[in-house]
Amino acid sequence: MQVELGKMRRCGTGFALAALATCTASVLGAQMPGTPTLQNAWASPGLVGAANYSGGDGSVYAAAVAWASATARFQLSGGIGARSLSGGGGSKTVYGVRAAIPLGGATSAIGFGVFAGVGGGQAATGDTVSSNTQIPIGAAVGWRHAIGATRGFSVYATPTYLYLTGGTKAGGVARLGLGVDLGMTKSIGATVGAEFGGTRSAGLGGPTGTLYGIGVSYAFGRR
C-alpha cells in the first residue's frame, strides 16, 4: 500500500497564527497489488522506511522506502512484499514504485498533491497463477493538525483511476482511498487506511473489494 504500505512528514513546522508543530507519517504501499492506494499531500526531505500489512483481498506483508527532495516538492517511493490470496496457492512477490508531487505548503493545514505509479507481481489461488500490472494516476487532498511540539495527525482522501493489464482482459476502475497518519515522535509514525470503489473479478486481476492497511514508518537522520 499502497499497506501504499510510510512517508514521514515535516516535524516542528509552525502553522500560521497557531504556531503549532506537526509530524505525521503515511504508509508506503508504493502501489503494490493488494494494498490500498494512500497518498498524503505533504512530504518531508530525506529518507523514510516502513513496514506494512494490507488485507481485504488476501494479505500482503511488505517493506518500503521513500525519498523526498530537499524542497519536499518531489517524492519517489518503492516497495516489495509477499502476497497470499484466500484459497491457497502460496505467497507470491509483489512490487511497486510511485512518484508524487506534494503541493501543500510547509506551514499549511490543508494541502493537495498529484501522483502516478506502477506495480505488479503474481497472485495464486489454488492451482491458478495470474500476473498483472496496475498503473494508478490520482490526486490527494489532506488536512493536518498539531498535538504539542512533536506530534500530530493528518487525514486525507486519495481519488485514483487504476488501469490494469494482465489476467484475460485489460481495463480500469475508479477507486477512493481514505487515510489517517499519526506522528508519534519526530521520527516514528503510523498509518491506517482503506480503499474502495470499482472492482474486477478475481480472474481478471485487480481489486475485488475493499482493501485496508496499517503501517509503521521511521524517518532516518536528524529531525
> What are the CA-CA distances from residue 17 to residues 10, 20, 140, 143, 146 (Å)?
18, 8, 25, 16, 13
| Angstrom distances, CA of residue 88 to CA of 26, 62, 126, 183, 197 | 30, 19, 5, 37, 26
Q: What CATH architecture does domain 46-219 belong to? A: Beta Barrel (2.40)
pLDDT at 19 over 60: no
Instruction: Give me the residue spans of the domains in the chain.
Output: 46-219
Q: Is 67 helix (H, G, I), strand (E, B) or coil?
A: strand
Enumerate residues 6+ apart whose C-beta is below 8 A from 68: 7, 43, 44, 45, 46, 74, 75, 76, 102
Mean pLDDT of the chain: 80
- 177: pLDDT confidence band, cut at 50, 70 and 90? very high
Per residue in 24-51, pLDDT (tens digit) is 545 556 789 899 999 988 887 888 899 9
> pLDDT by residue (tens digit) across 79-89?
999 998 876 66
Look up the pTM and report it.
0.84
Tens digit of each residue's pLDDT (9 = 90 or more) over 127-175:
556 678 899 999 999 998 888 777 788 899 999 999 988 766 788 999 9
Cell readout for 186 is 519526530
